[in-house]
């Protein structure tokens, strides 16, 4: 099921969309719908990730910054050693 929505875009964006539509043999409407869908999915994933992170903080499931940095440095050093060994 789909619904119709009217949006305003700059002339520059419309020109670029037209170029993509011509190059891909897709309609501007199809491409705009795909772009909106991708944007919505990405933004929802970001929001949900932030909400999970805030829930972790609230529940005390956190690691001190210094510990996280030390662990990251250790992982990087180990990867460099393995790379140097060949």
Assess if residue 28 is contained within a domain.
Answer: yes
Judged against a pLDDT cut of 90, whether residue 76 lies above it is answered with: yes
Judged against a pLDDT cut of 90, whether residue 86 lies above it is answered with: no
Distance of alpha carbon 66 from alpha carbon 74, whole angstroms: 12
pTM, entire model: 0.70
Residue 35 and residue 45 in contact, taking contact as beta carbons nearer than 8 Å: no
What pLDDT score does 73 carry? Answer: 98
Assess if residue 6 is contained within a domain.
Answer: no
Provide the number of structural domains found in the chain. Answer: 1
Assess if residue 74 is contained within a domain.
Answer: yes
Which whole-number Å values give the CA distances from 68 to 30, 58, 63, 79, in the listed order?
A: 44, 18, 6, 17
**Residue range(s) defining the domain that contains residue 76:** 11-84
Q: pLDDT confidence of 17, banded at 50, 70, 90?
A: very high
| pLDDT (tens digit per residue) in 26-69 | 999 999 999 999 999 999 999 999 999 999 999 999 999 999 99
């Amino acid at each position: 099921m789909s619904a119709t929505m009217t949006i305003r875009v700059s002339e520059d964006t419309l020109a670029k969309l037209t170029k993509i539509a011509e190059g891909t043999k897709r309609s501007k409407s199809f491409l705009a719908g795909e772009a909106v869908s991708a944007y919505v999915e990405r933004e929802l994933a970001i929001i949900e990730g932030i909400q999970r992170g805030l829930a972790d903080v609230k529940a005390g499931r956190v690691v001190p910054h210094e510990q996280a940095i030390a662990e990251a440095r250790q992982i990087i050093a180990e990867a460099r050693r393995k790379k140097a060994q060949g």
